[in-house]
Amino acid sequence: MPDPLAPFRWLTAPATDNVRNPLGDVFTLSFFHEVEPADVAARFEPSGAAVRSMTLGEFDDEVAEFVEETDGGDGGGYVGITRIGEWSMAVEPCGWHTARGENLARLAQGCEAVAVGRHDYGEHSFLYAVDGEIVVAFTPHAPVTRWGSDPDRLKEPMRRVGLPSTATTGKAAWDTRWDDALPRAFALAARITGVTVTPDSFDGPLLVASITGWSQD
């Protein structure tokens, strides 16, 4: 039987696996509905500072330099944005900026937004926002505990990707939830946005904006 999570497992693969994962083991992906990349960049960099077009390699070098200068405590310092269908997607390597509710709410003014964060040394995250308000948010390994203005809004799509919205019992249920929690969170984002991210999604030019002016605390 085909694995329904197969398209999302590269996003959660260990760094040692022989899998193409250009994002590493700490990153956040966020999606903004019907907002152009330049407008998304302006939301990240409202001061009007210039944004730059970069390849993924150039972008990674910029992030690596920032991480080295700050010892990694302030995230990656930059976000790269591209357009996929009706959504602009922002990738934040080595960072968790948009995985914070107050930040995503601010970025989601006047639009629908989704963010999924992978943090192998901290806590993974899923957030769904509409018009400046966090509607549903949870940790993928504990989807029963949700917060937001309408925490039950996504119960049906959660059920369809195998994220329990009510308590489950038994070791098998726990093991399945733990092992597959993060790919299921990315699957939920894809169900909402219609965007299935692949490693090739980052091959084109990225519009890069600084997020160093935002608090990472």
What are the C-alpha distances in Å from 110 to residues 40, 45, 86, 97? 12, 17, 15, 19
For residue 184, give the H/E element and its range: helix 171-193
The answer to whether residues 87 and 32 touch, using CB atoms and an 8 Å cutoff, is: yes
In 3D space, the residue among 80, 118, 116, 138 whose CA is nearest the CA of residue 192 turns out to be 116
Does residue 124 have a pLDDT over 90? yes
How confident is residue 168, by pLDDT bands cut at 50, 70 and 90? Answer: low
User: Collapsing DSSP states into helix, strand and coil, what is residue 36?
Assistant: coil
How confident is residue 88, by pLDDT bands cut at 50, 70 and 90? Answer: very high
pLDDT for 178: 67
d(CA 150, CA 186): 20
Does residue 216 have a pLDDT over 70? no
With vertex at residue 170, the alpha carbon angle to CA 142 and CA 128, rounded to the nearest 5 degrees, is: 20
Beta pairing, strands 206-210 & 133-139: unpaired
Q: What is the overall mean pLDDT for the chain?
A: 91
User: Collapsing DSSP states into helix, strand and coil, what is residue 107?
Assistant: helix
Per-residue pLDDT tens over the stretch 152-161? 999 999 999 9
Q: Whole-model pTM above 0.95?
A: no
| 109: β partners | none
Does residue 26 have a pLDDT over 90? yes
d(CA 43, CA 141): 30
